[in-house]
Amino acid sequence: MKKVLVATMLALAVASLYAGGKSEQAPQTQSGLAWVEDGTLHGLPLVNPLKVSGNIITAGSSTVYPLSERMAERFKEEGYGGLITIDSIGSGAGFERFTVAGETDIANASRAIKTKEMDAAKAIGRTPIQFRVGTDALAVVVSKQNTFAKNVTKDELAKLFSTAATWKDVNPAWPNEPIQRFIPGTDSGTFDYFAEEVFASNPEPLLSAKNLQLSEDDNILVQGIKGSPYAVGFFGYAYYAENEAALNILSINGVEAVKENVDNNTYPLARPLFLYSDAQVMRTKSQVAAFIDFYLSYVNEEIVKVGYFPASESDLDTGRKLWLEAMQGTY
């Protein structure tokens, strides 16, 4: 029996050693990173996904999620053989995992990092680097069955998502029916952004509203809004684009959420989408640097398909420069 025990323990020890060794990044050779190809694109070195190994862990905004998923898919299609995790848990929770626990390599965010989160990151020795990857036009949507609402002013928007009990309270021309609200959960960047834009950063009126459903899962919101002509909600544009057949998007102050208005900054609810990482993480886990490089190089070819709007070339370039600074001397 003892023999069996000893043998089992030995086997376990060997297995754990092996697993540990495997999960750790193979040390980089002096000559540089294996996946870097000759030549550059937009100033960044070309990535060969076939030669990228090791896993990548990302978490954060449910708005950025479809975009990151798309980029990860393309990364894999072009040969990346590792595992890439993308958790859709809200920007706040994404930052928490990145800055407090330090368990993720990339934080996806639909808002800029807060000072508090920056400090938390410093406390664990990380310095978040911001990469702008695109622009979202936050979509305020109603069901296709809703025939009366087409446009809201920003004042009406504030009433619609706080004190008004019925649609008539918002606009006398609308029916006297209770409003059903479906909004992203309190830790989502979309929630924060909406509170900031519409309620001057005070979440209280938004949360005190009656008939309120909160969810971090935008598909639950879509289901709810589809279900009634008197339902209303908001989320990232991609979820509207995906459910265009069942939903109507409202224009804000008479401005429609179309590329032109997002580009020239007239759509009032346009907002930036970001990835955050850290130079140390990118250097020690070079697959992370490779993925971000790949992301920044090709995001504009994919972003429209997902349903968002391209960031300006200069914003993307700022990110690319930061990437080069972070990776200086490693390849």
Partner 1 sequence: MVCGLFSSIKVLHMMHNVTKHPFGKKHRPHEVVIETLLFLFALFSILITLGIAIILIRESFLFFSDPKVDLIGFLTGKVWQPMIGLFGFLPLLNATLTTSIIAMLLGLPLGLFVAIYLSEYASDRVRGFLKPTLEVLAGIPTIVYGYFALTFMTPMLRSLFGESRVEIYNTASAGLVIGILVLPMIATMAEDAITSVPKELRLAAYALGGTSIETTFKVVIPAALSGLSATFLLALSRAIGETMVVALAAGAGPNLTANPFRAAETITGYIVRISGGDVSYNSVDYNSIFALGLVLFVITFTLNLISRKISNIFHQEYD
Interface residue with partner 1, options 223, 251, 300, 330 (CB under 8 A): 223
Q: Which is nearer to partner 1, 213 or 251 (CB)?
A: 213
- We find the least distance from the C-beta atom of residue 215 to partner 1, in angstroms, to be 4
7-43: string of b/e by CB count within 10 Å (b at 16+)? eeeeeeeeeeeeeeeeeeeeeeeeeebbbbeeeeeee
Task: Tell me the C-alpha to C-alpha distance, in Å, between residue 65 and each of 72, 92, 125, 147.
Answer: 10, 14, 26, 31
Helix axes 65-77, 286-306, angle to 10 degrees: 110
- We find the least distance from the C-beta atom of residue 311 to partner 1, in angstroms, to be 26
Residues 56-75 contacting partner 1, CB under 8 A: 59
Interface residue with partner 1, options 203, 246, 255, 331 (CB under 8 A): 203
- We find the least distance from the C-beta atom of residue 228 to partner 1, in angstroms, to be 7
> In degrees, to the nearest 5, what angle opens at C-alpha 245 toward C-alphas 67 and 306?
10
In angstroms, the CA 178 to CA 173 distance is 14
Binding range to partner 1, per CB under 8 A, among 32-40, 199-207, 259-267, 298-306: 199-207
Q: How many C-beta atoms lie closer than 10 Å to residue 208's C-beta?
A: 10
| 327, two tokens | 């990776």
Among all chains, which residue has been given the structure tokens 């990173």? 33
Instruction: Say which residues have a Cβ less than 8 Å from residue 78's Cβ, sequence separation at least 6.
Output: 49, 50
Interface residue with partner 1, options 156, 192, 216, 293 (CB under 8 A): 216
- We find the least distance from the C-beta atom of residue 104 to partner 1, in angstroms, to be 12
- We find the least distance from the C-beta atom of residue 212 to partner 1, in angstroms, to be 4
Interface residue with partner 1, options 25, 85, 208, 219 (CB under 8 A): 208
- We find the least distance from the C-beta atom of residue 282 to partner 1, in angstroms, to be 24
Region of 48 please: left (phi>0), alpha (psi -120 to 50) or beta. Answer: beta
Asked if 218 is part of the footprint of partner 1 (rule: CB under 8 A), the reply reads: no
In angstroms, the CA 59 to CA 68 distance is 10
Q: Which is nearer to partner 1, 59 or 262 (CB)?
A: 59
Going by C-alpha positions, the residue among 155, 137, 100 that lies closest to residue 257 is 137
Interface residue with partner 1, options 37, 155, 204, 301 (CB under 8 A): 204
Q: Which is nearer to partner 1, 40 or 211 (CB)?
A: 211
Asked if 228 is part of the footprint of partner 1 (rule: CB under 8 A), the reply reads: yes
Count of chain residues binding partner 1 (CB under 8 A): 34
Question: What strands lie across the sheet with 180-184, from one edge to the other?
Answer: 212-215, 180-184, 231-235, 139-143, 247-249
Going by C-alpha positions, the residue among 55, 109, 58, 56 that lies closest to residue 87 is 58
Interface residue with partner 1, options 55, 153, 213, 266 (CB under 8 A): 213
Interface residue with partner 1, options 5, 173, 200, 245 (CB under 8 A): 5
Q: Which is nearer to partner 1, 216 or 293 (CB)?
A: 216
Residues 88-147 contacting partner 1, CB under 8 A: 89-90, 92-93, 96, 100
Residues 138-197 contacting partner 1, CB under 8 A: 180, 185-188
Asked if 200 is part of the footprint of partner 1 (rule: CB under 8 A), the reply reads: no
- Name the residues that contact partner 1, by CB under 8 A: 1, 4-5, 59, 87, 89-90, 92-93, 96, 100, 180, 185-188, 203-204, 207-208, 210-216, 220, 223-224, 226-228, 231
